[in-house]
Structure 1
Amino acid sequence: MPPPLQEFEDDESELQDTLAHQVVSGARDAQGIPWSATPYTRADYRQVRQSQHRTYFNREVEVATAKSRLAMEAVKVSTSNTNMFMFHRNWRRLHSTIVHFQLRNLLWCPTTTDMYAVHENRVLTYSTATRVLRTVMDIGGGIAAPGAPGIGAAQVCTLCVKHGMAAAGGFGGELVVKRLESLETFTYSKRVTDNENGITNAIEIAPSPSGQVSVICSNNDNRVRCLDAKTFQSVSTHVMPWAVNTTVAQPGGRLLCSVGDDPGALIFDPGVGPSRPAVKLADGHVDFSFAAAWHPGGNCVATGNQDCTTRVYDIRAPGKCLALLLSNVGAVRSLRFSDCGNFLAAAEPADFVTIFDVTTSYKRAQVIDLFGELAGVAFCPGSDCLNIAVADPHYSSVLQYNKMRMSYLYPLCE
């Protein structure tokens, strides 16, 4: 990576923010990288970085064998002259860190102005309205921050912020929850599993049709655990045939979709017993999946895989893939649909986020080209902006891209 910018104190870090007009005029790089001080142009460094990129596979032979077939089956996507979102600002005060290279759900934007991210053992929030950065939870241990009651310090590897709660998961199977309006440091903290390899890989917070909100943990011990968000008592536990890397809840419905250390994906109702087996989505992926997202309409779900593809399914016809989408160079680590349903953002481990236009059957897309490890992506409510967290020793920030006003193309978003 090129040399760092001059470091400022936190209260002066806004001086490092890049604004839209600086990028448009060519006065500054969106991330603030001083290319004139490096031996590379931006284009040259992109070529160098791509030539050095190595994608991690759990099933390397299977991916290599299927590569040409996947390319032929994929949707033919046009990215020329496609700008659905335009750069607005990079917010330098909110820094992200990544402790597990495969888990990248570390950025959440529950409102249009509030952003939440993981920094070391803390959950931070930054308001773009008040320009205030504060700590929501500190699970780092030590004298000043003893960690969460009952579990001590924890390495935070996943995050979810929804329905007035922030929930963090750790390497030792920890689940730590805080109600955002509460004055308590922690609302709930516990190790949900004693398995020595029971990493909490993902957390979902979702209401059922009856209104009951559940906190849903996906763990490496092959379990999906549903807890009542009021009492934190167990509602149900579901045993999967593989380590569960993420579980996402159907908007407005009862179903869950789980993916993990297997090419397959399972759709199931957490409120019914084993007499009604889970529905398996059509085969197609060839490596492990770490990302999934439901379309807000509730019928379609997308899964992201280490085979460098995203697959979209209609659960009313689970036996076939609706769309196969390719990444640029790496695995698909995070997927998010916009609230309006017109956009799907697919984040790779580093450098690339692709925004697919759902209204064109995913045939149009915009590629956002950055430098650095990506900690997560998040659409703001209303889908007017997309935020991208970059975790880098020198250029860590959240980059905000605002939707272009094209109501004649996207009337549902207005």
Structure 2
Amino acid sequence: MEQFNSDEVSYLDDKSIRATKNDSDFSDSDFEDDFETKMETDTSAQEARNGKDIQGIQWEGFKYTRDEFRETRLIQYENFVNILTPSSREKLDKEHRKVEKGKNFYEFQFNTRLVTSTIVHFQLRNLVWATSKHDVYLMQNYSLMHWSSLLQRGKEVVNVARSVTPTQKLPGLFSEPLSRVQVSSMAVKENLILLGGFNGELLCKCVNQPGVAFCTRLSTEDNAITNTVDIYRSPSGSLRLITANNDCKIRVFDAQSFTRVSEFAFDWSVNNTSVNPDGKLLAVLGDSTECLISDSHSGKVISSLKGHKDYSFASAWHPNGLILATGNQDTTCRLWDIRNPSESFAVLKGNMGAIRGLKFTPEGRFLAMAEPADFVHIFDTQSGFLQSQEIDLFGEIAGISFSPDTEALYVGVADRTYGSLMEYKRRKDNHYMDSFF
């Protein structure tokens, strides 16, 4: 993974349309008791049907129409790559699957600027997590925010600009106070909130308890960013915490005692890891064109997935445990059947940038694929990934998350002017069949 370079983040108001406010500083806290000042910038489904822009962008005040700016943006956007060559790019253009676009699996429901998504590293975009169709967590600078779509109100859960002292003290537990943590990765599952930091930090909080239970620095190396964190069940049913860091290591912790269960080292920085549904396999992705499948207990590499042309930053397992999706800076998502890992069975392509976010719905019907900016694609697995919906917005994408009941999809938009949280609702007039997988 690259050291952070703010030039790689292409904000909407950096282009030639007129900005409507000054850039905001990285403030210590983003919780406001009075949200009324932003209410007029929010957009409901009814307002969108009546013609209001879903992000509240007043195009009549700009030099471009929306369609003109979209065309310009597609031409001017520069996708960041590490090793992708022009010849490899040409091969990918021929290899990717032709998909029927224009479907409408999820309908726009609401866009709010009462909470605004932010990112700290241009390659890490996993900072939005929904725990129900009405509850979602996101990072807003140093504040972990909770948004209730029912109350249409945000609340600060944790402020990591201030000193954070762990509340749980157990014999032999290596935990230490932290402060001014720039959160680079997060996960919210099993009543736990797990945060990873730009300088190798790890924090864990129980959703319904005050304070932070555990926090520590995983590595003292200068470039040890915590690229990915996750929460999963081991084959025995034990709750585990897992981290992937820029120091080439994956670490696994017990979620009750916070003791380190295992540590696996690899030959390159690990940008992403995900655990399959039965807890037995790890997908390991990083600064390599290969993606590895490893045993979650021993760390032993079982197979190597070859096909991507650059570095990978996203992965997701289908609930059946047989299909793995991997996202790469070569602008593609590859789909693998791990029973036949010699080659991917499908290649899905974005419109203009790397694939930095992937999420399956819990029942496996849909796959959401996020580019760094402007586009989220939703693929229908039942069609063999041949039908898709394209969510077209403007701004950097901080994260995507389906609700556990699949009823909602949340998209975090990180932009200096139009930063927001977008909510989409699953359509009810389609009669779905079970996925063919």
Would you say same fold, with TM above 0.5? Answer: yes
Q: Distance in 1 between matches of 2:36 and 2:239?
A: 38
1:319 to 2:342 alignment: yes
1:73 to 66, 89, 95: 95
**For the Cα contact (< 8 Å) 1:267–1:281, is it kept in 2?**
yes
**Correspondence for 1:260:** 286
Which amino acid letter does the alignment assign opposite residue 146 of structure 1? Answer: S
Q: Output aligned runs, 1:189-200, within 5 Å.
A: 189-200=215-226
Which amino acid letter does the alignment assign opposite residue 261 of structure 2? Answer: V
**Shift in Å at residue 332 of structure 1?**
0.4
Q: Distance in 2 between matches of 1:70 and 1:412?
A: 27
Q: Distance in 2 between matches of 1:350 and 1:293?
A: 19
1:53 to 2:69 alignment: no
1:131 to 2:152 alignment: yes
**Correspondence for 2:412:** 389
**Correspondence for 2:305:** 282
Q: Distance in 1 between matches of 2:429 and 2:281?
A: 34
Q: Say which SS state the counterpart of residue 290 (structure 2) adopts.
A: strand
Greater length-normalized contact order (CA 8 Å, ≥ 6 residues apart):
2
Q: Distance in 1 between matches of 2:50 and 2:432?
A: 27
Q: Distance in 1 between matches of 2:20 and 2:254?
A: 46
Which amino acid letter does the alignment assign opposite residue 266 of structure 1? Answer: L
**Correspondence for 1:23:** 48
Q: Say which SS state the counterpart of residue 398 (structure 2) adopts.
A: strand
1:360 to 2:377 alignment: no
**Correspondence for 2:213:** 187
**For the Cα contact (< 8 Å) 2:353–2:372, is it kept in 1?**
yes
**For the Cα contact (< 8 Å) 2:365–2:434, is it kept in 1?**
no
**Shift in Å at residue 151 of structure 1?**
2.5
Q: Distance in 2 between matches of 1:14 and 1:130?
A: 13
**Correspondence for 2:132:** 111
Q: How many residues align?
A: 401
Q: For 1:70-91, what per-residue CA distance to the aligned partner results, in whole angstroms no more than 9, with x for missing partners?
A: 1222111111x41111111112
Q: Distance in 1 between matches of 2:246 and 2:434?
A: 42
User: Where in structure 1 are there 5+ consecutive unaligned residues?
Assistant: none
Q: Distance in 2 between matches of 1:372 and 1:282?
A: 32
**Shift in Å at residue 153 of structure 1?**
2.1
1:14 to 2:12 alignment: no
**For the Cα contact (< 8 Å) 2:241–2:254, is it kept in 1?**
yes
Which amino acid letter does the alignment assign opposite residue 115 of structure 2? Answer: L
Q: Say which SS state the counterpart of residue 68 (structure 1) adopts.
A: helix
Q: Distance in 2 between matches of 1:259 and 1:407?
A: 36
1:88 to 2:109 alignment: yes
CA RMSD of aligned residues (A): 1.9
Q: Say which SS state the counterpart of residue 280 (structure 1) adopts.
A: strand
**Correspondence for 2:27:** none
Q: Distance in 1 between matches of 2:279 and 2:152?
A: 36
Label 1:364 to 1:412 Cα distance change in 2 as closer, same or farther (>3 A).
Answer: closer
**Shift in Å at residue 113 of structure 1?**
0.9
**Shift in Å at residue 364 of structure 1?**
0.7
Q: Say which SS state the counterpart of residue 46 (structure 1) adopts.
A: helix
Label 1:167 to 1:146 Cα distance change in 2 as closer, same or farther (>3 A).
Answer: same
Which amino acid letter does the alignment assign opposite residue 166 of structure 1? Answer: I
Q: Say which SS state the counterpart of residue 247 (structure 1) adopts.
A: strand
Q: Distance in 2 between matches of 1:73 and 1:60?
A: 15
Q: For 1:359-412, what per-residue CA distance to the aligned partner results, in whole angstroms no more than 9, with x for missing partners?
A: 111111111110001101011112122111001111111111111124434466
1:212 to 221, 228, 238: 238
Q: Distance in 1 between matches of 2:265 and 2:84?
A: 27
**For the Cα contact (< 8 Å) 2:132–2:405, is it kept in 1?**
no
Q: Distance in 1 between matches of 2:412 and 2:314?
A: 16
**Correspondence for 1:3:** 19
2:163 to 146, 150, 157: 146
**Correspondence for 2:253:** 227
Which amino acid letter does the alignment assign opposite residue 98 of structure 2? Answer: K
Which amino acid letter does the alignment assign opposite residue 73 of structure 1? Answer: E
Q: For 1:85-125, what per-residue CA distance to the aligned partner results, in whole angstroms no more than 9, with x for missing partners?
A: 11111122121111100000010001111111111122111
Q: Which moved more, 1:292-301 or 1:66-75?
A: 66-75
Q: Distance in 2 between matches of 1:169 and 1:160?
A: 9
**For the Cα contact (< 8 Å) 2:279–2:296, is it kept in 1?**
no
Q: Distance in 2 between matches of 1:129 and 1:383?
A: 17
Q: Distance in 1 between matches of 2:341 and 2:84?
A: 27
**For the Cα contact (< 8 Å) 2:107–2:424, is it kept in 1?**
yes
Q: Distance in 1 between matches of 2:380 and 2:308?
A: 22
1:248 to 274, 277, 282: 274
Q: Say which SS state the counterpart of residue 396 (structure 2) adopts.
A: strand
Q: TM-score, normalised by structure 1?
A: 0.93
Q: Say which SS state the counterpart of residue 305 (structure 2) adopts.
A: coil
**Correspondence for 1:157:** 184
Which amino acid letter does the alignment assign opposite residue 3 of structure 1? Answer: A
1:305 to 2:328 alignment: yes
**Correspondence for 2:204:** 177
Q: Distance in 2 between matches of 1:210 and 1:161?
A: 21
**Shift in Å at residue 270 of structure 1?**
2.1
**For the Cα contact (< 8 Å) 1:121–1:138, is it kept in 2?**
yes
1:376 to 399, 414, 417: 399
Which amino acid letter does the alignment assign opposite residue 100 of structure 1? Answer: H
Q: Percent identity?
A: 37
**Correspondence for 1:350:** 373
**For the Cα contact (< 8 Å) 2:252–2:261, is it kept in 1?**
yes
**For the Cα contact (< 8 Å) 1:169–1:200, is it kept in 2?**
yes
Q: Distance in 2 between matches of 1:236 and 1:54?
A: 39
Q: Distance in 1 between matches of 2:385 and 2:369?
A: 12
Q: For 1:255-297, what per-residue CA distance to the aligned partner results, in whole angstroms no more than 9, with x for missing partners?
A: 111101111111112213x6xx312343100100000011111
**For the Cα contact (< 8 Å) 1:280–1:318, is it kept in 2?**
yes
**Shift in Å at residue 248 of structure 1?**
0.8
Which amino acid letter does the alignment assign opposite residue 72 of structure 1? Answer: K
1:39 to 2:66 alignment: no
